[in-house]
Amino acid sequence: MNKKLLSILGPVIIVALMIVFRYLFPNKITFLTEVGIFSIYVMGNNILMGYLGYTSFGQPFYLSVGAYSAAIFFAYFGGNIFLAIIVAIVVGLLLSLVLAPGLMRLKSSYFTLINAALCMIGVFIFERLLIDVTNGNDGLWFRGNMAATPLLDVRYPKNFFFFVLLILLIAFYLYQKMDKSAFGISMKATKANPEKMTFLGYNVFKIRSIGYAISIMMSTLAGSLYAINFGFVNPNLGENTRAIEVLLATLIGGVGSVFGPFFGALGFLGMKDIVSTFMTRWEFVVGVLTIIVLFKFNRGIWGLIEDGAGLVQRGRNKKTVKVGE
Amino acid sequence: MEIWITAIIYGLASSGILFLVSLALSIGYGLMRVVNMEAMVYYSFGAYVTYTIMSLTGSFILGALGGMLVGAGLGLLVETQLLRKIYNREMMFTMVVTFGVFMIGIGIIQFVWGLEPKPVASPISGIVKFFGGVQIPAYRLLIIVIAVIAYILIQLMMNKTIIGKALRAGIDNRENVEGLGVNINKIFTITFVVASAFAGLGGALNAPLVMVGPYMGFDMLLFAFITVILGGLGSIKGTMVAALILGQVINVGGTIWAPLATVGPFIVMFFTILIRPTGLFGKDI
Amino acid sequence: MSTSLIETKGVSKIFGAFTAVDKVDFAIEENDAVGIIGPNGAGKTTFINILTGNFIPEEGRIFYMGKDITDVRIEKRIEMGIFRTFQLVHVFDNVSVYENLALSYYRKEENRSVPLNMFLVNFLKKKDIRRKVEEALELFHLEKKMDDIVGNLSLGNQKKLEIAMAWIADPAIFILDEPFAGISDHEIDDILVILKKLHHKKTIIIVEHKLSKLTEIVDTLCVMHEGQVIASGPCEETLNNPEVRKSYWKIED
């Protein structure tokens, strides 16, 4: 298999795989939809982690901002599902415009922790400050307000599944384009050596800010899809405890790769699904996995696939992906 | 008026706990450039061990000592078996690894003690009356005293002993210190174990004030992080000052408007970092 | 007085109690090649950092084509054509050799203030980038390494790549900080061949310890000692300067 073929077929194969799963395990449709949504969320985090070298302990914040944007739209403004998704993406863009000037000047360790703080502030805002709008812990319910969509009524889970797949397909193509574009390479180069980037004449701050904005928009997009999927949102979605989930999924998939996030989402949610059948709390498993992946497995599932497919010429192109740096 | 004085003194007690618990983070970063998220495991275990010993023997002092010892033991285990091997890795790597250890710690707690929160009775129930009718539980005053002693001890260790000197030299130039025949690894370990013991003590002291539950470390992790970030990663003095500020934000702020008790610290840190990206006393690293 | 391409007048850089660069006057004519030598800690790298804008000097002024650039920011100086390499090799070790070169070339060709363009450009597909990068690969004998991830290259090849990245950016002035440090004689000769091609076509400032190699490509030497320029002029003459012999070679006459 060569690279060019893979870039065209990759997204198609993934989507086809999802459809096959859907018919093999008809009762797992909610799970598969969640894999699709979670993939987009992980792709967003992968931009921070794999391309920019920032590890955020606050991704649930952005996810819940997206979810609440859509939910508030449905509850108070209208029923158009597409418009709700666009609102969530625009809110993500605006949020990143506000935050990037501060955050993108921080050292990466401070970035990590400030994001953790954002998470806490987010929960506070949605649970307490905006309680009149969001109903606090009771959650905001809006399933009845969603209007039917033409062609494919995505209010039904079995149709929503295909809708998510379509968005996933588009996301993959754009993601791939970005990865190969001058911008994708600039981001990676900035991660490796920001000083040299400056001395080539690039504006490192600008590159980081745009990357950050894309990452946040993907997170809020995923958040809006979560909201539509569940038909309600509550503040738990944005809790700090969940920050590790997306980090771990990114690591499992393979940091900095285009298709890694999908396998990370599938691997992570699959494991959660299996473990949760015989364990109610699974922090222990998450912790052990994190350490195993980091020490023994640091190119993730995608790394294994690459090696297996012989995509990487032996010895020459072997990438060692490091977290952060 | 009394309500404010009460809030300020309660605030000092909160500062004391925050300082004890944050010390491990601050020292871990200052010495080894490792953001050791797992430090909160020592805090949680400190509280749980206190609970167990207290319910067996009825003695809080024995419980707190046990909590300290277990905290120190865990610190020793983690430092020698894990952290030492990852000192030189990138910061993000160590953060995620230690977070993994933290999750494992939470898992073990759930396994050993279950999910139900455990109540711990306050060891001294006396109330100290001040002029003007202010009434403060003696236990809170005890916490303040212990935290002050801890601060003095750690400063003495850093400034007066050979350990502190070697440490400071070791951070700047590891090879030189090793060349002088000082085993810098041993010194790192000793300091780290001391900090872990303080985290365990923090857990023990906080046990009667909060519900001892598996996620207590998580709540504390966020506050401990705010403390070290606000003070500047790696500065013990900064940690102390930040703990003092946050204690007041939590208690006085919470008296003004209840939600400030949880979210106030985050807001304070958020704006401090945007204005001063390295915290109050942090060096640009 | 003819205008020099770049000129400093009495620049100093002070770190606390330590004066790293002490009132240095320096000038280089267009298309000249100057070597800066001196013992470790003489202030050579600090001086370069002043030229490129990493450090703003406490005193003195810097002129570029007669214009005062002392307070001009790094990015602006790069646009003006001042390009540097680093003592410790600075390349992007997580992308390929091709992409490293393309990044360096692309910045110069494209308007960097419009990053949205950057989403549309594919380095491998854009013809002019490809042509130029292939030219550079050939010139620097890196063709075979084109698709390699830079982190897997030898130090010598990484150094070569860094100079190739300077070459492809086609700056007005090359500032090379110890280009020969840590690489084999064979690799040095490779680089020398290329630098010789640039000789008298480009302005070059090189900081280097390997004198025998350095004198092959520079016309003028400038010797620094404890933050000051103690001698400068044609190579032979400068090396025989009594003060240089004393403080650099530690030879007492």
Question: What residues make up the domain containing B57?
Answer: 20-220
CA C15, C17, C21, C25: dihedral to nearest 10 degrees?
120
Res. B284: pLDDT tops 80: no
With a CB-CB cutoff of 8 Å, which residues 228-257 of chain B face chain A? 229, 233
ipTM here: 0.84
Total domains present in chain A: 1
Please, is A92 exposed, middle or buried when counting C-beta atoms within 10 Å of its C-beta (0-12, 13-18, 19+)? buried
Q: How far is CA B206 from CA A202, B12, B15, B46, B122, in A?
A: 51, 13, 11, 9, 10
pLDDT at A314 over 60: no
CB A243 within 8 Å of CB A160 = no
pLDDT at residue A317 in the model: 46
pLDDT value of residue B17: 94
Residue A10's pLDDT is 81
DSSP annotation string for B123-164 = S---EEE-GGG-EEEHHHHHHHHHHHHHHHHHHHHHHHSHHH
Residue predicted with more confidence, A310 or C243: C243
Task: Tell me what the pLDDT averaged over chain B comes to.
Answer: 86
DSSP, res A256: T
Give the per-residue pLDDT at C199: 81
Whether the predicted pLDDT of C155 surpasses 80: yes
pLDDT recorded at residue A224: 95
Name the residue with tokens 């401070």: A110
Instruction: Decide if B105 contacts B44 (C-beta within 8 A).
Output: yes
Tokens of A105: 């000047």
**pLDDT value of position A323:** 46
Type of residue found at A295 = F
The string of DSSP codes covering A12-77 is HHHHHHHHHHHHHSGGGHHHHHHHHHHHHHHHHHHIIIIII----TTHHHHHHHHHHHHHHIIIII
pLDDT band at B4 (very low <50, low <70, confident <90, very high): confident
Residue A258 belongs to some domain of the structure: no
- Give me the phi and psi of C64, to 5 degrees please: -125, 120
* A244: chain B residues, CB-CB within 8 Å: 99, 103
- Is B132:B2 a contact under the CB 8 Å cutoff? yes
Q: Which residue has the higher pLDDT, A279 or C150?
A: C150
C115·A210 Cβ contact <8 A? yes
Interchain touch B–A (≥3 Cβ pairs closer than 8 Å): yes
Per-residue model confidence (pLDDT) at position B22:
92
B245 band by pLDDT with thresholds 50, 70 and 90: very high
CB C98 within 8 A of CB C132: no
pLDDT at C226: 84
Least confident of B25-29, B65-69, B101-105, B144-148: B25-29
* Residue B114 CB partners (closer than 8 Å, separation 6+): none
Domain assignment of residue B168, yes or no:
yes
What are the residue boundaries of the structural domains of chain C, listed by start?
6-247
Structure tokens at A59: 């991704």
A275 part of a folded domain: no
Q: Which chains touch B (3 or more CB pairs under 8 A)?
A: A
Residues in chain B within 8 Å Cβ distance of A282:
107
Amino acid B125: pLDDT? 79
Inter-chain Cβ pairs, chain A and chain C, closer than 8 A: 98
Q: What percent of chain B has pLDDT over 90?
A: 37
Distance from CA of A241 to the nearest CA of B (A): 8
Q: How many CB atoms lie within 10 A of CB B86?
A: 16
Measure CB to CB from residue A185 to each of C74, C91, C99 and give the nearest one: C99
End-to-end CA distance of chain A: 31
Residue B172: its pLDDT value, please? 62
**Does residue B258 fall inside a structural domain?**
no
Decide which of C29 and B234 is more confident.
C29
pLDDT above 70 as % of chain A: 94
Query: Would an 8 Å CB–CB cutoff place C84 in contact with chain A?
Result: yes
Res. C55: pLDDT tops 90: no
pLDDT reported for residue B177: 63
What is the distance of C-alpha A203 from the center of its chain? Answer: 26
Q: Is the pLDDT reported for residue A312 higher than 60? A: no
| pLDDT over 80 at B257, yes or no | yes
Q: Does B259 touch chain A (CB under 8 A)?
A: yes
Residue B188 CA to residue B179 CA, distance in Å, equals 16
Does residue B282 lie in a domain region? no
| Gyration radius of chain B over CA positions | 19
Residue A317 lies in a domain: no
Residue A220: what pLDDT? 96
Contact A290 B100 (CB under 8 A): yes
Chain A (150-179) residues lying within 8 Å, Cβ to Cβ, of chain C: 177-178
Q: Do B95 and A112 touch (CB under 8 A)?
A: yes
Q: Best of B83, B91, B92 to disrupt the A interface by mutation (most A CBs within 10 Å)? A: B92
Name the pLDDT band for A316 (thresholds 50, 70, 90): very low
**Smallest CA–CA separation between C185 and chain A, in Å?**
25
Residue range C68-92: mean pLDDT, rounded? 86
| Mean pLDDT lowest among A135-144, B167-176, C15-24 | B167-176
Q: Is the pLDDT of residue B261 over 80?
A: yes
Name the average pLDDT for chain A. 86
- Residue range A271-311, pLDDT digits in tens: 888 887 877 777 888 888 888 888 887 788 888 887 777 65
Q: Does some domain include residue B153? A: yes
In this predicted model, what pLDDT tens digit does every residue of C171-199 receive, in sequence order?
A: 889 999 888 888 888 888 888 888 888 88
Is the pLDDT score of B109 beyond 50?
yes
Asked if the structure places residue A259 within a domain, the reply is no
Distance from the A117 Cα atom to the nearest Cα atom in chain C, whole angstroms = 30
C-contacting residues in A 197-226 (Cβ below 8 Å): 198-203, 206-207, 210
Nearest to B194 by CA among B39, B35, B13: B39
Q: What does the block give as tokens for A112?
A: 């990590």
Instruction: Tell which residue, A70, A80, A83, has the closest CA to residue A231.
Output: A70
pTM for the model? 0.85
Closest CA in chain A for residue C53? A199
Q: Answer whether B48's CB lies under 8 Å from B105's CB.
A: no
Q: Which residue has the higher pLDDT, A192 or B34?
A: A192
Superfamily name and number for C6-247: P-loop containing nucleotide triphosphate hydrolases (3.40.50.300)
Question: In which band, very low, low, confident or very high, does the pLDDT at B73 lie, cut at 50, 70 and 90?
Answer: very high
Neighbours of chain C (3+ CB pairs under 8 A): A
Contact A109 B267 (CB under 8 A): no
Of the listed ranges A110-124, A248-262, B177-191, C103-117, the least confidently predicted one is: C103-117
Q: How confident is the model at residue B146 (pLDDT cuts 50, 70, 90)?
A: very high
Residue B204, pLDDT score: 95
C79 touches chain A (CB under 8 A): yes
How confident is the model at residue B78, as a pLDDT? 92
Q: Which residue has the higher pLDDT, A120 or B283?
A: A120
Interchain proximity A283–B273, CB inside 8 Å: no
Give the range among A55-64, B58-67, B124-133 with minimum mean pLDDT.
Answer: B124-133
Name chain A contacts of B259, Cβ cutoff 8 Å.
Answer: 124, 128-129
Q: Is A276 on the interface with B (CB under 8 A)?
A: no
In chain A, residues 97-126 whose CB comes closer than 8 Å to chain B: 102, 105-110, 112-114, 116-118, 120-121, 124
CB of C174 within 8 Å of a chain A CB? The answer is: no
Q: Which domain holds residue A79?
A: 3-240
Number of domains in chain B: 1
- Cα A296 from Cα B97, distance rounded (Å): 12
For B157-203, what is each residue's pLDDT tens digit? 888 887 777 776 666 666 666 666 667 788 888 888 999 999 999 99
> What is the share, in percent, of chain B residues with pLDDT greater than 70?
93
DSSP E strands in C107-162: the ranges are none
**Mean pLDDT, range A151-165, rounded to an integer:** 87
| Largest separation between any pair of C-alpha atoms in chain B | 61
Pairing of strands A232-233, A140-141: antiparallel
Res A152: pLDDT? 81
In a domain, B199, yes or no: yes
The reply to whether B271 falls in a domain is: no
A290, A293, A295: best to mutate for the B interface, most B CBs within 10 A = A290
